[in-house]
Each structure stands twice: as structure tokens, then as C-alpha cells.
Structure 1
Amino acid sequence: MKKLTSRIDKEKLLLAVAAPLLALVAALVVTALVILATGKNPFPAFNDMLSYGSASDSQVYILNKATTYYLAGIAVAIGFRMNLFNIGVDGQYRLAAFLAAVVGGALSLPGIVQIPVIILVAMLVGAVWSAIAGILKVTRGVSEVISTIMLNAIATAIIAYLLQPERLGQLDEAGTLVSTKPLPESSWFFTLDMGPAGQLWGFIVVAVVVGVAYWFTLGRTRFGFDLRAVGQSESAAAASGANVKKMIVTSMIISGAVAGLVGMPTLLNDSHQFDNSFPLGLGFTGIAIALLGRNHPVGVALAALLWGYLERTTGHFEVIGYDKEILGVIQGVIVLCVVIAYELVRRYGLKRQQQRVGAELAAQAAKTDTEVTA
């Protein structure tokens, strides 16, 4: 049985590697066919992606983008592990970033105090906004998909109402941009000077800490076990003593708190204010990244890097004669191929495991019969 277990573990590892490789190859083939359909050669485009993506400034750009994407992916993944679809990360991080910017602009404290205050405000706002959906689900049976979509719209309306010069916004000197009061320089998060390549956002450290905390909580704590159990089967989890309703609300709160961090790299490392140009759609990007990474902290990190790489290397396709919409095609195809590839590999792995277990049990039965006969 030990040999059988070892063999199955090796196959699981090989299948885990095979799934993303199969998806990537399939995505490249489909993308090449799409480019060919436009009457252009795909190989120069792929070659340009490799050379442009390996430049030092591109690597810094990719890491900065991946920091934000990773936080969005983890926020979504927390809900996925509970079988919850937190589609409201977009509204949670935008409202959190807006109110954190307002608080940060109104305070004048030492950076060592003000930076944590800004981050905590963002996490609190995201947690409260997400908790609304969790409470509606456990008390009224409202689907979190519907409630979070509605909360996204409400968050957008609140920001639009409050981000006015006569309220919490202010016009810039040119009179063309409305924003919150800029954060004092003392509250800017640190950056790492990478020379000609640019500035690497220091918030990448926070993203790593979040990833480690996510891994440890889910894999090494009773809370993580209960969370995963509820996600697999609510009735079985309840039978084991888990409070299902409490776990649902708690998971939504944690997911929202992490969602509150999504806008912090941009706010604390880049823009230092909230305005109408603040990034949109990061919550929906997080859904794709969580799916690509299979809700695993390392997988989500690799997916975030891939997303940043694609955004960087396809951003100038129009300049070299290719359609700029290729990025959307590649992203969509990759997500679709990953979902299909993982399902195919899962079914194949399950079939192989059943065959091996059956063969091993048959061999043991034959051996027992031989010993009895002897």
C-alpha cells in the first residue's frame, strides 16, 4: 500500500503540472489561429512578447501589476474556498480606497502611524461592505452573487456622490480633475529604486504576507479546516460541529478585508489620491486569476504574474501592426483553456487512481487466495 500511495502522489504531482501546461499550449494554439484569421503571422508577435517582456522595466511593471492582481485573486479565492462567489470585490476595493484616501488626506500624523491607519480603514470598509452580502445570505437566503452585484452599483453611486468639489473632493489646479485631498508625503509607502527600470512598489511585501497568512490559515488552522469543510459540504460540516452561518459571514468579512487592500498599492505607491482615473475592474480580474491559480496562494501568484506579463507585452501590439484586442482574446482563451484542462486532467487522474487501486486490491486478493490454498 505504501508503494501504491507513493505512486499515486507522483501521478498527482505530474497531473498538477500537466494541467496548466496543457492549458497554456492550447491557449497559444488558439491565439495563433485567431491572429492567422486576421491575415497576420503570429510568430513575430510571440517573439516580440518574449523580448519585450524580458526587459528590466517590463519586469518591474509586471511585478507592480501582479501585486495588485494577487491581492484581488486572494480576495476572490477566499470566497471560492467556501463555495461563495464574491463578485463584489470591485465595489469593495474602490469604496475602501476612496474612504481610506479621504481619511489619509485629512490626517497629518507620522508615517509610521498614518500608513497603518490608512490600511486598516481600507480593510475595515471592505470587510463591512462585504459583510452585508454575508448577512443577507444567512438571514434572508439572498444569493451573494446578486447582493454583491447590487453593492457594486451602490458603491459606485456613493463614490460618485461624495467625490464632488463641494463634498469630499477637490479640483486640481488646472480645473480638470476631481480628486480627494492628496496624501501627505510622509504617508507614502516605500518603493525600491531599480535604477533605469523604475520603482518597485513596496506593497509587494504586504502581498507576500497576505499570501503566507492565507496559506497558513487554510492549511494549518481549525478555522481553515472548517472553512474548507463548509465549502465542500455544509451538512457534513454542520455534523462535525462547524457553525455554517457564522463561517459564511466570517469568510465574506475576511474576503472583503483583503479586497480592501486591492487599491492600496495604487493609492500608497502611485497616485497618492483617489480620482476618476483610479483603476476599474480589478475585482473581475481577480476572479479570472483565482480560477487560473486554482485558489492556491502559489498558483494565484503565478496567474497574477502571467496577467501582468500579458498586459505589458500586448499593450503595444497596435504599434507593431497587430490588433490591440488580442490581449482580451488571449486572456479569455487562457481562462477557458485552464478550466477545460483542469477538468480533463481531474477526470483522467480519478480514472487512473481507480484503476491502480483496483489492480492493487486484485493483486492482494490473488496473493491471499494463493496463501490459503498453500
Structure 2
Amino acid sequence: MNGFVDRLLGRVPLSGVLAIVAPLLAIVFAALITSVVLVTTGSPPLETMALMAEYGVRPRTLVLTLNSATTFYLSAVAVAIGFRMNLFNIGVDGQYRLAALIAAAVGGAVALPGPLHITLIVVVAVLVGAVWSALAGILKVTRGVSEVISTIMLNAIATGLGAWLLTQWAVPVSGSNNIGTKPIPESGHFPGFELIPGTPLQVFGFIVIAALVGIGFHVLLARTRFGFDLRATGRSEPAAVASGVNVKRMVVAAMIISGAVAGLVGMPQLLGASYTYSIDFPAGLGFTGIAIALLGRNNPVGIAFGALLWAFLDNSAQILDLEAIPKEIVTIMQGTIVLSVIVAYELVHRYSQTAVQRRVGRELGETGGRETQEAKA
């Protein structure tokens, strides 16, 4: 069996093995842990999971899953940009909420032709997110402040600043006791489209922008000098410095790009559903992005699958309340999946290293044996 696995690891690139084996192991392990918790709470595991699966493939739920996955994906990409350089941008949550608030206020205050109106709102969001994230990068390179600490503190500041700004710009939201920014005119709405038959609910049109962001992320990292310098700095800062990379500039640039993508996180909801920033605007998406970035191994394709899985679990869990099953079980499953993926990646990585060492040892042994035979001849 070990010989077969070794041969498999020898033929398949390590990245391919990690991408396939580790998530599968993590999902299986998470399912086992969730089953134990369900049994403990008196709920049948197989029936509960079958119920979630049946509800999750309904047309309306599928649309909600795609819409949630769109925002999750953007948030995870924003986090992943920092992760690829060993920067922990914990501030995506504050960056996207402040960006969405200011962009909504600007969008509701102007009247422009459709494409220009949408472009203005998106550009404002990107700039706000980039500037807010750049503060952490500047503090790191000028004062040595850890980006983990600074981004957490900037989250708190963004929350307070956003609450104050909302009170200054707020108007009553029609049909509720809520308050929010002035509604964005129809010219600023990003149109959705009907993708899933059987429901009039539309998929966010911003899903196309999210896909383009993922493609841009891949091209930036894999096909540009900047991406090479970014990855090199993340792997070994001394080596990057020795090769002529300006590490301080790379830190600030990476934080700016991460914040710019973070500014897009709230746009699918703002331009495709709510058209105003109110006190019930979705929060916590930045922290969800951290989990999905880890789940997807900071790879744009892996992140896409992770976002879809996370969104599917979130939306399929809604049926559990009707069946008197605590839907918090999904949170347990999500957390277990992330932890299991990290452990599984490490186990597979270590096994693959051992397999490579065995293969090299065998090859060296065979080479040495041939050389000995030739010497005797």
C-alpha cells in the first residue's frame, strides 16, 4: 500500500495531492465530529444531513448560496493576498463596511448614467478599502507595528466611525424602523440575472466581477514580476532583500491591494439587493473570509470551492430551525472543517516529503549499485 501511495505521490505534483486529499480528509472528519454532536443532542445524523442536502438543492436556496458565495469569495481573496506574503489582514471586516457605507452615501447623493454611476460607487469603495488598509501597512514599515494588532484596532475604529457617519447621513428606511443612507437611484443598481430555473430570485450580477477578481489574483501572482516578488518576500524576507526586493514597499503595496479587494466585499449586497447601507448591513464577512482563505489554501480555485461549501452550509442550515434541530451544528461543522483542513494539509505534506525522501534514497541506492558493478567490471 505504501509503495502505491509513494508512486502516486511521485506522479502527481504535491500541490495536486494537497488540493485533493486534504480537503476530502477534512470534510470526512468534520462529518464524523458533527455526527457525534448530533447524536449527543438527540438528533439523527444521517436524517439531518439528508434534510440539509435536500433543502440546499432547492432552486431558491441555490441562488442564495451563489449570492452568499460571491461575497465570501471576495472577502477570502482579500485575505489571501495578505496571506501569500505572510501578512495577516484581520481588518477586512472594517475595511469593507466602511467602504460600503461611504460608497453608499456617495451613490445616493449623485445622479449619473448607469455605467458611470456604478463605476463611481465601486471606485469609491475600492479607494476607501485601500486607504484604510494602507494605514496598517504604513504603521508596520515605519513603526514596526504588527499588522494583526493594527488591523484589529482599525476594525474597532471603523465600527465607531461608521456608526457616527451613519447617524450624520441616515434617513428612515421605507417600510421599517431601520435607518440607512439615502437609497441609491436605479441607475446605480448592478443588474442580476435569472440563472437557476424554478425561482424568480436573481443571482447577483456582481458574481461576474468576483470571477474577474479571482482571475486577476491568479495572473498577478503567477504571471507578473510583482507577484513573484510578493511570493518571494512571503517565503523568505532575507532572500527577497538579497535579490533586490524593496520589502517595505511590498508590504504597503500588498496591504493596499488587499484593502482594495476588501472594498468590493459589500458591493454585491449594496448594488444588487439593499441599495442602501443601514444598521442591518451584513457584518462579519471579513472573518468568514479568513476561514475560507485557509480552507482554499489561498488559491483562487480552492477559495471558490470553499466559498461555495461555506455558503451551502449557511443556507441549507435554515431548514433546521423548522425541524427543532439547532442550526448551530453548522457552525460546529464549519469550524471543524477549517481546523481539519489545516491538520490534513500538514499530514499530507509531511507524508509526501517522506515519500520523496524514500524515492530519492532508492534512486541513489540504485545509482550506487550500478556504479559499483561497473567498477568491478
Match of 1:170 in 2: 171
Secondary structure, in 3 states, of the residue corresponding to 1:191? coil
Q: 1:16 to 1:364 in 2, by over 3 A?
A: farther
Secondary structure, in 3 states, of the residue corresponding to 2:203? strand
Q: Give the deviation of 1:349 after TM superposition.
A: 0.9
The answer as to 2:333 corresponding to 1:318 is no
Match of 2:54 in 1: 51
In the aligned structure 2, how far is the partner of 1:365 from the partner of 1:190?
A: 68
For 2:152, the aligned partner's letter is: I
- Normalising by structure 1, we get a TM-score of 0.96
Q: Give the deviation of 1:46 after TM superposition.
A: 0.8
For 1:314, the aligned partner's letter is: A
Q: Which runs of 5+ in 2 are unaligned?
A: 1-5
Q: 1:5 to 1:338 in 2, by over 3 A?
A: closer
In the TM superposition, 1:1-374 aligns within 5 A as: 8-10=10-12, 12=14, 13-164=16-167, 167-173=168-174, 176-194=177-195, 196-197=198-199, 198-374=201-377
In the aligned structure 1, how far is the partner of 2:175 from the partner of 2:205?
A: 31
In the aligned structure 1, how far is the partner of 2:22 from the partner of 2:43?
A: 29
Match of 2:3 in 1: none
In the aligned structure 2, how far is the partner of 1:196 from the partner of 1:78?
A: 37
Q: 1:245 to 1:192 in 2, by over 3 A?
A: same
- Normalising by structure 2, we get a TM-score of 0.95
Deviations 1:246-271 (A, max 9, x none): 00000000000000000000000010
In the aligned structure 1, how far is the partner of 2:350 from the partner of 2:9?
A: 17
Q: Give the deviation of 1:78 after TM superposition.
A: 0.3
For 1:282, the aligned partner's letter is: L
Q: Between Structure 1 and Structure 2, how many residues are aligned?
A: 369
In the aligned structure 1, how far is the partner of 2:13 from the partner of 2:108?
A: 54
Q: Is the 8 A contact 1:15 1:349 kept in 2?
A: no
Secondary structure, in 3 states, of the residue corresponding to 2:169? coil
Deviations 1:125-184 (A, max 9, x none): 0000000000000000000011001100111111111111xx211123567221101000
Report percent identity of matched pairs. 55
Q: Give the deviation of 1:220 after TM superposition.
A: 1.0
In the aligned structure 1, how far is the partner of 2:105 from the partner of 2:24?
A: 45
In the aligned structure 2, how far is the partner of 1:260 from the partner of 1:24?
A: 31
Deviations 1:69-119 (A, max 9, x none): 000000000000000000000000000000000110111000111111110
In the aligned structure 1, how far is the partner of 2:12 from the partner of 2:173?
A: 60
Worse-superposed segment, 43-52 or 130-139: 43-52
In the aligned structure 2, how far is the partner of 1:268 from the partner of 1:116?
A: 11
Q: 1:272 to 1:306 in 2, by over 3 A?
A: same
In the aligned structure 2, how far is the partner of 1:202 from the partner of 1:234?
A: 40
Q: 1:110 to 1:57 in 2, by over 3 A?
A: same
